[in-house]
Amino acid sequence: MKRLPAAVLFVLGFAAAGAFSGAVIADVTTSTTTSTVATTTAETTTSATTTASAPPASGPTLPHGVRVAGVRVGGLRPADAVSAVQLAFRRPLPVVVDDTKVLLDPTQVASAYSATAVARARISESGANVQLVVAVHGPELRTWLAAIEKRFARAPVDATLKLKQGKPFLTKDKPGRALSTSRLAEKIVAELQANTRLPVQVRTKAVAPKVSVGTFAETIVINRSTNRLSLYDLGKLRRTFKVATGQAIYPTPKGVWHIVVKWKNPTWYPPVQDAWAKGLKPVPPGPGNPLGTRWMGLDAPGVGIHGTDEPASIGYSASHGCIRMEVPDAEWLFDHVQVGTTVYIL
């Protein structure tokens, strides 16, 4: 009978010890997630340990202080870090052309290797800033740049000179604007690779027209039917002179011509190709010179505007194709026109 109480006490003591030790292990395994220890515990303890120690689907968190292209990903799980980098990359890039802002969607022209960068960040030291590799798609970027160029660039407009109802009509020139798309592309690629969204600023460049209004500062209109020469300044009539134009057999040629040479006190040389000049000799400068004191040659072969030693012919169709003026009038016109002046002959 004495041994029975002792046995009972032993069994009760063993059961109590087992319960106590099981509670301690369960607590440890919950906090440390050590599955090896958990396997030595009771069945209920093993179940609790397995749930607590299962690794997360996206793996361990990244080192604290780590960034990917400036995006803070330290302490995040890899999947969350990839999402954060992708979200930052999708931010629109402001592009300022002159004073106008447009937004570029980076995903339309480039791809960012976010997962690769996060994988490198996982093995980087705390505080590191991992580079984000960005692949820019050339065709898509060129298409976007072409649309921007079409919007902001414009070709210069040349001044034009036309004849309307016997009078010169002048349209003004307009400067153009040029946009360096290659320079803009360089800036955009640099910003995308740095993953910054600071505004990219570019300015268009003025492009001067090839033909300005000044090109037509003076215009001459010669009317063969009235034997009148009119000088226009920027489309406005300045002076009109009586002239002599070509005879019916030697007509002054119609068309649009230009003054190509200007000579003072010219020597007259007989046109060897014309029968009427056969046997004539050159005439040096002086009172008897058929050209007077001034010659303004046109790009019409053998034709020019000049003075004359026959003032009585002025107002008639009396020349051999040239336009004769009284000597004082020819001298005045000579001083007010330039080589290149447009001459309309009607």
Task: Report the catalytic residues.
Answer: 306, 322
Q: In what order do the strands lie in the sheet with 100-104?
A: 100-104, 93-97, 200-202
Q: Which of 55, 28, 17, 25 is nearest to 43 (CA)?
A: 25
- Name residue 315's amino acid: G
Q: How far apart are CA 124 and CA 118, in angstroms?
A: 10
Structural tokens at position 212: 């300005």
- In order of 14, 46, 48, 54, the CA distances from 43 in angstroms are 18, 5, 9, 17
